[in-house]
Amino acid sequence: MRAVRLTVWGEPPVPADVERPVPHGAQVLVRVEATGLCHSDLHVIDAAPGVLPYRLPFTLGHEVAGRVAALGPDADGVDVDEPVVLYGPWGCGACGRCAAGWDNYCDRRDTLPWHGAGLGRDGGMADYVVVPSARQLVSADGLTAEQAAPLSDAGLTSYHAVSGLRHTLGEGATAVVIGIGGLGHLAVQILRATTACRVLAVDVREEALALAERSGADFGTLLRADTARVLRTRGGGAGADAVLDFVGTTDTLALATGVLRPGGELAVVGSGGGSLTVTKPGVLPPGFRLSLPFWGPRPQLAEVVALARSGALHVETERFPLSAAPEAIDRLRRGRVRGRAVLVPD
Ligand code: NAD
Ligand code: ZN
Ligand code: ZN
């Protein structure tokens, strides 16, 4: 079967022909129908040797939807041909967090040479992918694979981040979303569907602001020197109750803390490598709270899939054949993808 493999750190992934895996034990083989391309794939491809704990080579692709193709001898809980979306963060499978479906915060994460499917373990940029057990699958019945695949990360991560802030986002509250790409445009829709707050969007591309508007944002603006002031005015003057930063550079973190009202909360999702200095007393708003959400728990994947099935979420996708993965990666790198690039086996 074909697979897009990372073989050397810092070099582009290579298309390869590999053996189709055979599911052993409780494993399940999934025939891939769509795999989202995440900005994190670029961070992985570009990583210097030793930065990530993964062993090379492995197949990329951590946002995957498809159909169950075969079950290992001890597998149960899914049927052949069932449409599924992968729960991608694979933990140790044995600790309390993993037992509760919170593999994203596995207690043994520091000791594992992977973070999940396509992140140190063979993922979904291939014709087939094997998952450790049916526990890593959620039914995608009622959704196309192209819509379902991005839910496994762009959808789940945004949903998990919003879940942590929802208590601050009642009627009259304001949320600011920075970075309206694959994750950000779904965050705007999730805020719209699950909270009563006003949603303000920030990006560096006009095209992304148009996507924010289509996703239900009340207002969008380019990142400029006076953006914090503009957002405060649009948010009713007091400042934002919550900021979701899907970029995570020093300039976006400064914007986030500059726009929050006292008691405001910041969720940093983007892996932009920026830093924020905490001093007390200092310039951060009093009562400021910070979270660093990583992916999300399995129960929330089922919730975000249900939300999509209800019609409240629409992933804006650009489709590429799997054989064009290098072009898709190049377009994402140049900021040319609208919404999510999705690779479809050809
Ligand atoms: P994307 O490339 O699809 O979208 C990023 C968006 O941010 C683009 O619209 C871009 O124009 C915009 N942007 C870039 N610089 C900006 C700036 N300075 N100010 C405002 N907007 C700016 O990326 P994505 O796939 O949505 O991922 C977003 C980030 O989240 C990446 O860093 C990715 O690695 C990270 N991520 C984290 C998790 C997690 O679990 N924490 C999960 C998935 C992705
Ligand atoms: Zn991702
Ligand atoms: Zn664990």
Q: What is the residue with the minimal CA distance to atom 31 of ligand 1?
A: 270
The residues whose Cβ lies within 5 A of ligand 2, an ion, are 38, 40, 153
Q: Where does the chain hold its CATH 3.90.180.10 domain(s)? A: 2-153+296-344
- Ligand 1 lined by 297 (C-beta under 6 Å): no
State whether residue 127 is helix, strand or coil: coil
- Compute CA distances 246 → 129, 140, 171, 240, 318, whole Å: 28, 26, 24, 16, 20
Give ∠ CA 310-302-169 in degrees, rounded to 5: 70
181 lines ligand 1 (CB under 6 A): yes
Q: Which long-range contacts (CB under 8 A, 24 or more apart) does 336-340 make?
A: 337/37, 337/181, 337/182, 338/207, 338/208, 338/211, 339/181, 339/182, 339/185, 339/211, 339/315, 340/36, 340/37, 340/63, 340/150, 340/154, 340/181, 340/182, 340/315, 340/316
- Other C-beta atoms closer than 10 Å to the C-beta of 139 total 16
Atom of ligand 1 at shortest distance to CA of 38?
A: 25
- How many angstroms separate the alpha carbon of residue 39 from the centre of ligand 2? 6
Is it the case that residue 212 has pLDDT exceeding 90? yes
- Average pLDDT (326-331) is 97
**pLDDT tens-digit profile of 158-175?**
999 999 999 999 999 999
Q: Are strands 340-344 and 317-321 parallel, antiparallel or unpaired?
A: parallel
C-beta of 335 in contact with ligand 1 (< 6 A): yes
Please return the burial class of 144, using the count of CB atoms within 10 Å of its CB with bins 0-12, 13-18 and 19+: middle
Ligand 3: centre distance to CA 96 (Å):
7
CATH architecture of 2-153+296-344: Alpha-Beta Complex (3.90)
Q: How far apart are the first and last CA of the chain?
A: 11
Ligand nearest to the CA of residue 244, numbered in listed order: 1
H helices present in 195-295, as ranges: 206-214, 227-234, 250-259
Q: Give yes or no for residue 41 CB within 6 A of ligand 1.
A: no
C-beta of 203 in contact with ligand 1 (< 6 A): yes
Look at residue 167 in the predicted model and tell me its pLDDT: 97
Tell how many helices (H) and how many strands (E) occur in the chain.
10, 18
Distance 24 CA to ligand 1 centre (A): 36
SS3 77: coil
Please give the pLDDT value at position 46.
96
- 56 CA distance to ligand 3 middle (Å): 22
Query: Which ligand lies nearest the alpha carbon of 110?
Result: 3
Strands (DSSP E) contained in the chain are: 2-6, 14-17, 28-37, 58-59, 63-71, 83-86, 116-117, 120-121, 128-131, 137-139, 174-178, 198-203, 219-222, 240-245, 260-268, 289-291, 317-321, 340-344
Nearest one of 252, 218, 251, 250 to 235, comparing CA atoms = 218
**For residue 271, which amino acid is it?**
S
**Distance between CA 75 and CA 77 in Å, rounded?**
7
Query: In the prediction, which pLDDT does 28 show?
Result: 98
Residue of minimum CA distance from atom 9 in ligand 1? 181
Ligand 3 ion: Cβ-proximal residues, 5 Å cutoff = 91-92, 95, 98, 106, 108
- 93, 83 contact by CB (below 8 A): no
What CATH superfamily is the domain 156-291?
NAD(P)-binding Rossmann-like Domain (3.40.50.720)
pLDDT at 236 over 90: no
3-state SS assignment for residue 317? strand
Residues 6+ apart with CB under 8 A from 167: none
Residue 19's pLDDT is 97
The owner of tokens 């109750």 is: 241
Residue 161 C-alpha to ligand 3 middle, in angstroms? 21
Atom of ligand 1 nearest to the CA of 272: 32
- Give the per-residue pLDDT at 176: 98
> How far, in Å, is the centroid of ligand 1 from the Cα of 18?
31
Average per-residue pLDDT in the chain? 97
User: How far, CA to CA in Å, does 19 sit from each of 1, 23, 45?
Assistant: 6, 12, 23
Q: How confident is the model at residue 120 (pLDDT cuts 50, 70, 90)?
A: very high
Q: Is 187 in the pocket of ligand 1 (CB under 6 A)?
A: no
Mutate to test the pocket of ligand 1, among 269, 304, 336, 343 (most ligand atoms within 8 A of CB): 269
Query: What residues are paired with 6 via a beta bridge?
Result: 58
8 Å CB contact between 193 and 218: no
pLDDT tens sequence across 9-58: 999 999 999 999 999 999 999 999 999 999 999 999 999 999 999 999 99
- pLDDT digit string, tens, across residues 132-160: 999 999 999 999 999 999 999 999 999 99
Q: What is the pLDDT of residue 97?
A: 98
3-class SS letters over 181-223: CHHHHHHHHHHHHHCCCEEEEEECCHHHHHHHHHCCCCEEEEC
Residue from 204, 207, 246 to probe ligand 1 pocket by mutation (most atoms less than 8 Å from CB) = 246
pLDDT digit string, tens, across residues 277-300: 999 999 899 999 999 999 999 999
Decide whether any atom of ligand 1 lies within 6 Å of the 336 Cβ: no
Structure tokens of 338? 């609208």
Residue-wise pLDDT for 70-110, tens only, equals 999 999 999 999 999 999 999 999 999 999 999 999 999 99
pTM assigned to the model: 0.98
CATH 3.40.50.720 residue window(s) in the chain: 156-291
Tell me the pLDDT tens digit for each residue of 180-203: 999 999 999 999 999 999 999 999
Q: How far is the CA of 184 from the centre of ligand 1 (A)?
A: 7
Query: What does the pLDDT read at residue 268?
Result: 98
**Res 253 pLDDT > 90:** yes
